[in-house]
A and B are shown apart, each in its own frame.
Chain A
Amino acid sequence: MLAEDFNLPKQTHDIFGIMARGNFISSNGSKDGMNRLYDIVNNPDNFDRLQAYFNVIRYNIERGNNFFYFSKLHEPNSELEKKLERFERYIDIVDLLASMDNKITIGSRFRPSEIAEECNANVRLKQKLQKIPLYRSETLHNKVREICDLMSRDSYLEMEDEKTESYKVLDSYAYLLDVINSVAIYEDTGGGSDDAQGLIYN
């Protein structure tokens, strides 16, 4: 079977380039025409063709709420240790973003300095930030920057303006929220949980 037989959109190469690196294609991303790529994948005709095409090389396009990503077909998921470590860190990060006065969620725009400033003014936030395991970074600001950098590399954030260092939260962030939402907590200690929930209204 030839590539031409699939009648693929001409952006197939770009789509593959992004997703094969493990990144997401989000509908509200603007860098490298990401929103256009999203529209192309989202078109039902294209989606079926691309799916069939990528399935040949054992990639599967997964659809989320306003984003796409690849998974591998017929391959056991591996590297559990690393994965657990990563997602533990994601919990830390999402928790930090959730504790901001101005909750940062999909579509929000923010600057690392804002977060650093808020963390500086609030002991609890400061502790949270300091406890996130990262390698270098001494100052709070640099630490937030590093987090933003990490999240952009994983394509959950996008740097909109380099001069002002402003970031935008992409739709793919919903993936993290979905994962967190799907974790079930076994309710065996009823008393403590209410206190924990109360924390959101700080």
Chain B
Amino acid sequence: MALQVNINDILSQLYHQRGVVEFLFANRENITVNELLSREDISAEQYQKLKSLDLIYEYENIVSLNDAVVSMFEDFMEIGEVTPGFINDYINELNRHIRFYQEAREMRFLRSIKKYLKRINATLTREIIKLQKNVDDTYKNESNYRIKLQKLEDYREKRDTIIEFIKKTSDVVEDTRALFTLTNDSELYGIVSALKASLIENLDYLIEIQTDITDFINKIMFQIDVYKKAQRLKEIKEHGSLYYRTNFKEIVSNINTLKHNGHKTPKTKIAIEFLYTDDGHVLCKRIAEKYKLTRLMVRGIAGKMAGDFKDKGLEQQIKLDTEKLVERFLVQTKANLFEYLMDYKFPKAIGNVTFEDRLSLFVEIAMEYQNDLDFKYRLQYYDYNDTGSEVKKRLGYTLILPLKDKAKKKEKVKKEEG
């Protein structure tokens, strides 16, 4: 190492260059020095500093992070290759310290024992999670089937190794039970029982992983077998004896998928009314374009909008409001229907409502809501001007009042008597 380093230096360097470290971690193996230096967050000087601390190194112009740093990150994030070797080291260390402790009952050995027991527990679980992840990844993402098979076989071996370690660990724990009881240390007791529980659990996971691996390998083998068969069939086909040397015809005739039996998508005819709507028009246009049918395209163009288009819209809107209007009329007592409508302040959105509109509304309401209205068969008169002329006119109208509750009741009584 070029310089005397301490944790503080390393941490602060990693922290200051965290952008670069992240970048290098994500793009391992293919970043050149120039590429790195062209980034804005690192200067040549800073680069030299990182290099001098051995946090990064370059080889043939390719920059990479120090392996120790990479593996630290990988360990932390539980990614990367499965490395059961660690567990072995820990078990050896554990045994060593147990021997020390048997020699001299000193706290410092006990502390190490606890440390390694905890580490073994954590590492086992982590390795198993990694193993599961890697097996899955390999099956789903490894595109070369030979490598895929090889990798899966490797994982199978790793799994066996981990199982061995689990056995080893539980043996160690069993053998030293007497010793551990002697220590009378409650923390140690807790650690050991947690370890025992997770050993059993981990064995279960490993069995599951084994079934996964076997399943995956079988699937790949099946696919390879079928591929071999496909190639043989092709061969036979080339020789022109596909129908004579195989039961191809029989198999194919039993195929029941819709597509291969000439079943067309169920078609429903479009309702003619739909074609008259706006959506239908768009559809017609699309079809016309597709088949270059000018006839349909010409038909598609809508005529000029009528001059009284707006008024029509207005009428419709008033119609929509009628029910509310009648409700309001029925609860008031001051005015009769005609007066009410003439003085009614329609919402601004509707715009100006002319005398004629109000008159037609009057007739409409009188006809549609006659059951709710009290028709007094008396005429009243109303003076008005035709829109746009000075001539005074007089209109006679029937007096219509809201039906009062009493009147309703009377009617009911009468009906019941009748």
B interface, size bucket? 35 or more
Q: Verify B255–A179 contact, CB threshold 8 A.
A: yes
Minimum Cβ distance to chain B for residue A58 (Å): 10
Cα distance, A175 to B232, chains bound together (Å)? 18
Q: Verify B258–A193 contact, CB threshold 8 A.
A: no
Contacting residues, chain B, for A6 (C-beta < 8 A):
none
Count chain A residues whose beta carbon lies closer than 8 angstroms to a beta carbon of B.
55
Chain B contact residues: helix, strand, loop or mixed: helix
Residue on A with the closest CB to B256? A71
Q: Verify A196–B232 contact, CB threshold 8 A.
A: yes
Binds A, one of B78-86, B153-161, B260-268, B312-320: B260-268
Contacting residues, chain A, for B143 (C-beta < 8 A):
102, 108-110
CB contact between A183 and one of B220, B231, B247, B266 (< 8 Å): that residue: B247
The verdict on A199 contacting B231 (CB below 8 Å), with A179-B251, A185-B236 known, is: yes
- Interface positions of B from 242 to 290, Cβ below 8 Å from A: 242, 245-249, 251-263, 265-266
- Interface positions of B from 134 to 184, Cβ below 8 Å from A: 139-140, 143-145
Flag whether A19 is at the interface (Cβ < 8 A): yes
Contacting residues, chain B, for A183 (C-beta < 8 A):
229, 233, 246-248, 251
Chain A contact residues: helix, strand, loop or mixed: mixed
Flag whether A23 is at the interface (Cβ < 8 A): yes
The verdict on A177 contacting B223 (CB below 8 Å), with A71-B257, A71-B258 known, is: yes
Residue on B with the closest CB to A128? B234
Minimum Cβ distance to chain B for residue A82 (Å): 7
Flag whether A99 is at the interface (Cβ < 8 A): yes
Residue on B with the closest CB to A181? B226
Question: Which residues does B use to contact A, with CB under 8 Å?
Answer: 139-140, 143-145, 220, 222-237, 242, 245-249, 251-263, 265-266
A–B Cβ pairs within 8 angstroms, 29 of them: A21-B265, A22-B265, A62-B256, A72-B256, A72-B261, A75-B261, A77-B255, A79-B262, A83-B255, A83-B260, A83-B261, A84-B252, A86-B260, A88-B242, A91-B234, A95-B233, A97-B227, A98-B227, A103-B227, A154-B259, A177-B226, A179-B251, A180-B230, A181-B225, A183-B233, A183-B247, A184-B247, A197-B232, A199-B231
Known: A20-B258, A185-B236. 5 other contacts (CB 8 A): A70-B258, A91-B233, A91-B237, A107-B139, A188-B245
